[in-house]
A and B are shown apart, each in its own frame.
Chain A
Amino acid sequence: MGKPCVRLVEVAAGYPGRPVFDGANLEVAEGEFLGVAGPNGAGKTTLLRLILGFLKPARGLVEVLGGSSSRPASLRAARRQVGYVPQGSGSGRLPMSVFDSVLVGRWGKGFAGWRRPSLADRQAVEEVLERLGLTAYRNTDLRDLSGGLRQRVALGRAVVREPRLVLMDEPTTFLDRESQAAFLALAGALNRVRGITFLVISHDHQLLAESCSRIVTLKAGRIVTEP
């Protein structure tokens, strides 16, 4: 196993009156395509919240890209190198073109506040659209796309950040079987070609088994690596 991209050491975490993890350990190596399986309520989203720094562990250590997620400075540094595909990734309340909805993925990396998106930011978006076969839709309102295309845009938004790690929360929930496989194949190609580490959360064990290099399962507050 290579250098860990994500490391959880003896982590206890949860919510008031509802502990989720107790003594959980996990190492995700750089370049891995890791699947996280488990039934509803097992703590899959809690794991992502820990990695994203939305939830602090009550005990133990959560390290992302070499820095503790409890320290604001290292969390900020990590976030610049992490792409995130949330569940049912936003169609937003306002119209937004496919181009702009990928461009927002560069926020904090290429631009923020007074710093406007540069030519380099826009070129990065064009490249990602091309790579993901989305160029024809660049001016289409995201809300007019099918679920499969929308998730492809969400993947584009994550990778346009030039991340070392991409976290995906049930990214294929609203897709049919064919689109699910196509989406994960695309993510797999990015993993192989660009070396981006992927951590994919899904309740669909079979789908993860078809696409991931390793699967861990959440059981009784622990993270268990499958043989």
Chain B
Amino acid sequence: MTGLSLLLLPFMLRAATGLIVASLALSPVGVAALALNLAGLRFTLMHLGLLGAAAGLAGGVDPFLAGMTFIAGGSLLFGPVADWVKLDVGQTSSLFMTGSLAAAFLLLYKADVPAMEAFSIFTGSILTLTPRDLAVLSLFGAGVLAVLGLWYWELNLMLFDQELAAALGVRASAFRYAVLALLGLAIGACLKLVGALMVDALLMLPAMAALPLARNLKHALVLSSFFGLISSTLGIVASLQWDLPISASVAMAGVLVLAASQGVRSIWRLRSSSAARTSA
């Protein structure tokens, strides 16, 4: 079996479906994270994932599951801890990142755990996606879309002006915590698909491609989903057709989609400025 016919294999079909579900449902979370300036936190959450993987290996638990649990826990704790210690997001991020990296290395050393196994969390394991994983991912994706739909106007207000949102009665802190938790859970969900290093391919690149072209938040959310879908599909096809690693192919497709969106944006700008010159 070669090329696209590989999709007839159940594990390959599950991998492709998982990627498409994740890109459709999770890319919009990247829009919220970018617009609320929380994008940098993904590195902190990834380091927490490494600590979780190390703890999992030391305790005989699946490192992916442990990594995802640590990321989810960290994303729930991050906001309240930042407020409690009265440090800004950048400082708290450094605290979490350095602390978790140090703890991971200490754990790897003392528990005599093979470090490379813990680092496997960074490369992902999409071909081992089980039907149960896929079901959980689909449910989570549906939940993410429902939450974004439910909070559309609150998100709009928060992205517009957080102080104004709070003055109108939006619980701004709770909202930021919720977006953070959503980001953490989305990163956790992406871990098994493409690995921590490629999380950007599913979460951030489609959002970055969507933002310059969007006319409002709704467009940005829909476009990010669309670009995520395009990146995943192109990545899967390229991977099967030319025998390339899936995660790297999806990430490269994401980069190309981003470059194309920037190109379209530049053409729009040129056209609108020449139209303005003509009318003047």
Contact = CB atoms under 8 A, between A and B. Distances in A.
B264 interface: no
Contacts of B211: 94
A52 B166 CA distance: 9
A39 interface: no
A141 B217 CA distance: 12
A93 B35 contact: yes
B112 to A, nearest CB: 47
B161 A112 contact: no
Interface residues of A, number: 32
Interface in A77-114: 79-80, 82, 84, 86, 89-90, 92-97, 100-101, 104-105, 107-108, 111-114
B159 A93 contact: yes
A107 B159 contact: no
Given A76-B169, A79-B169, A90-B164, A96 B216 contact: yes
A112 B165 CA distance: 12
A94 B151 contact: no
B154 A94 contact: no
A32 B171 CA distance: 30
A107 B168 contact: yes
Nearest to B214: A95
- The prevalent SS among residues of B at the interface is helix
Interface string A167-186: 10000000000000000000
B159 A79 contact: no
Interface residues on B, range: 20 to 34
B39 to A, nearest CB: 12
A80 B169 contact: yes
A97 to B, nearest CB: 7
Contacts of B165: 107
Nearest to A104: B157
Given A111-B153, A112-B154, A113-B151, A96 B160 contact: yes
21 contacts: A54-B166, A54-B167, A79-B169, A84-B167, A86-B167, A89-B164, A90-B160, A92-B159, A93-B35, A94-B214, A95-B214, A96-B216, A100-B216, A104-B157, A104-B168, A107-B169, A112-B154, A113-B151, A113-B154, A117-B153, A141-B215
Interface of B: 35, 150-151, 153-154, 156-157, 159-161, 163-170, 211, 214-217, 220
Report, nearest first, the 4 A-B pairs whose CB atoms are least far apart.
Answer: A90-B161, A84-B167, A92-B160, A79-B169
